Amino acid sequence: MVTVKTTYLGSLRTEAEHLQSGAKIITDAPVDNHGKGEAFSPTDLFAASYASCALTIIGIATQTHGFNIDGTVVETSKVMGENPRRIVELIVKFVFPHNNYTDKERKIIEGAIKGCPVANSLSKEMKITRTLSFK
C-alpha cells in the first residue's frame, strides 16, 4: 500500500501527501543547493524525521512505564558532506522538562532512543551525536 504520494511542483519544490490522513508537506531546495529555502528541504525533513521518531519511541516507553516527557524539545542540526552530497552527521540535543526523573526513568529514556527505527535504518557511517539535558 502506498503511504506517501510526492509531486514535483516545479522550481525545485515538491509536495508530499500522506495518503491516509491527507496531510501535506512542501519541500524546497536549500539556498546552498540552487533553491529558495522557503520550506523544509528534503534533508531538513530527514533531521526532523529522526527527532520525531526518537520522541515517539520515547513517548511509547514512558507511557508504558507511567511517566511522561510532555514538553520535551529536540534541537537537531545536520552536517553536510560532499562527493557525494549527503548528511554525514546529525547533532541532536534532547531537552527534557524538569520532571525529577529517577535514574530508572532516565535509563528507560536512553534505552528508548536506541529503538528509533529511523536511526536503526541509517548507515553505520552516519554519525549521530546525542546529548540529553534534564532541566
User: Where exactly are the structural domains of the chain?
Assistant: 4-33, 42-134
Average pLDDT over residues 45-54: 97
User: 67 with 101: CB under 8 angstroms?
Assistant: yes
Burial class from Cβ neighbours inside 10 Å (0-12, 13-18, 19+) for residue 128 reads: middle
Q: Is the pLDDT score of 76 beyond 80?
A: yes
Q: What percent of the chain has pLDDT over 70?
A: 100
Q: Determine how many CB atoms are found less than 10 A away from the CB of residue 2.
A: 6
Residue 135's pLDDT is 76
pLDDT band (50, 70, 90) for residue 7: very high
CATH number for the segment(s) 42-134: 3.30.300.20
Count CB neighbours of 73 within 10 A.
12
Task: Indicate the pTM of the whole model.
Answer: 0.91
Mean pLDDT of 50-58: 98
pLDDT of residue 35: 92
pLDDT-based confidence at residue 53 (cuts at 50, 70, 90): very high
